[in-house]
Amino acid sequence: MPMQILVIEDDPVIGKTLVKGFTEAGHRCDWVQDGIAGTAEALRQQADVIILDQMLPQRTGQEILKEIRSRGVMCPVIMLTALGGLNDRVQGLNHGADDYIVKPFDFAELMARMHAVVRRTQTRPTPLLKVGDIALDLTSRRVTRQGVDIDLTPIEFSLLELLLRYAGQVVTRKMLCEHVWGFNWDGTTNVIEVHMNRLRGKLDRGRDNSAIQTVRGRGYAIPAVPE
């Protein structure tokens, strides 16, 4: 079955070889050559698999992987790298990589591994976060409350995702900033409050009580619902 493949690789020889090989095999392939563009493409498009180089200009493959996983991109990722040490491979896998292949590599081996990880991930259950009457599907990026669809922006979706993951606990502004924007909150901006108020407005429309509690001086929380 044809797949949509995203290649994030700065080496022009490797990049052209991969695009040519994947295209000749009947797949659709996009190729970007730096970390910032790679992050944007991974978040923008619905790739079936991402081939991700470790050493990239502007952002490393590890940084890209960590961010896209935190933002709900769950497609298979195969890391390509000249770093063959055990610690490097373990770090990549811990950040959410599905496989790890060391350069130089054989294209036929990469193809075999790519098909293997796609088969494995197709059997995974749909990642669904559900607390009370709120449900968030990380694969379809669909949010519902009492079965009614709620249209959220990417930032609102990421805020709600973290709150649901930590249901029953306080989620600090620092945690939210790191999850959504990748930097530490220093208390000098009300950007979190602005987006949180918009999220509340959508979640709570037509209801008297808010699903999201403000914990003064600490952050926000969605109360856990007893099983």
Nearest to 225 by CA among 150, 135, 99: 135
Structural domain boundaries of the chain? 4-122, 128-221
136 by DSSP, 3-state: which?
Answer: strand
CA distance linking residue 88 with residue 81, whole number of Å: 9
pLDDT tier at 227 (50, 70, 90 boundaries)? very low
Indicate whether 85 pLDDT > 90. no
CATH topology for the 128-221 domain = Arc Repressor Mutant, subunit A (1.10.10)
**189 half-sphere exposure, CB direction, 13 A CA radius:** 11
Mean pLDDT for 200-212 is 91
Cis check for the bond before 104: say yes or no (omega within 30 of 0).
yes
Mean pLDDT for 203-208 is 90
Q: Tell me the pTM.
A: 0.56
Mean pLDDT for 102-124 is 83
CATH topology for the 4-122 domain = Rossmann fold (3.40.50)
**Integer angstrom CA distances of residue 213 from 58, 209, 222:** 38, 9, 6
54 neighbors 88 (Cβ within 8 angstroms): yes
Domains 4-122 and 128-221 share a fold: no
Indicate whether 20 pLDDT > 60. yes
Average pLDDT value over all residues in the chain: 85
pLDDT tier at 8 (50, 70, 90 boundaries)? very high
Work out the number of other CB atoms within 10 angstroms of the CB of residue 196. Answer: 22
